[in-house]
Amino acid sequence: MANGFEAWADFLYDQSDLPAQPLSRLPTAHWGSGTGQLSVRSAWTTDATYSNLICGPYTQSHAHRDQGSFVLFKGHWLAFDENIDSHSGLAQGEAAHNLVRIEKRGAVVEQRYDASCAMVALANGPTYGQPDHLRDLPWPPGRDTRP
């Protein structure tokens, strides 16, 4: 690392004693149940299609109201998150994320803090990973705003 304060990264990530492995041995889909991140790609080639879906907890003070959002990339962004172009990446509201935004009486219905959506089913195959259903998106209870 170029900066002394990043020396910890050299300590943690310098694994030069491990033999290199081909990317083709890695899976093309990963479901991170703790963060609610589903990352899928069509292959490990530079022309592959990549997508990421967020369906996890909205429980941290720096978290974004982006449960149910997704990005899609194939050579260029086909569906992207506004934070990609931001200076800080700190736009937390629903309007800054690629998701279905719910409005009521002309105002955005904010996702509920300290809540989580749930991935109910996930289909995996040798060349794909696909969410089949999302449940419990974190909109306020008792309102007619759930998709």
- Our CA angle for 64, 58, 56, nearest 5°, is 105
Residue-averaged pLDDT of the chain: 74
* 24 inside domain: no
Q: What is the pLDDT averaged over residues 54-71? A: 77
Q: Which of 22-31, 80-89, 103-112, 128-137 has the lowest mean pLDDT?
A: 128-137
Q: Which of 51-55, 84-88, 132-136 has the lowest mean pLDDT?
A: 132-136
Q: How many domains does the chain have?
A: 1
Q: What is the pLDDT averaged over residues 17-44? A: 86
Reported pTM: 0.63
**pLDDT tens per residue, range 105-114:** 988 777 777 7
* 144 inside domain: no
Under 8 Å between Cβ of 33 and 123 = no
Pull the structure tokens for residue 53: 């879906």
Q: What is the pLDDT confidence band of residue 145, given thresholds at 50, 70 and 90?
A: very low
* 5 inside domain: no
Query: Which residue range is the domain that position 38 belongs to?
Result: 29-135
Indicate if the pLDDT at residue 22 is higher than 50: yes
* 67 inside domain: yes
* 7 inside domain: no
pLDDT at 146: 37
pLDDT at 81: 80
- For 15-82, the DSSP string reads -TTSPP--GGGS-SEEEETTTTEEEEES-SSTT--EEEEE-SEE-STT--S-TT-EEEESSSEEE--G
* 85 inside domain: yes
* 143 inside domain: no
Under 8 Å between Cβ of 116 and 36 = yes
* 94 inside domain: yes
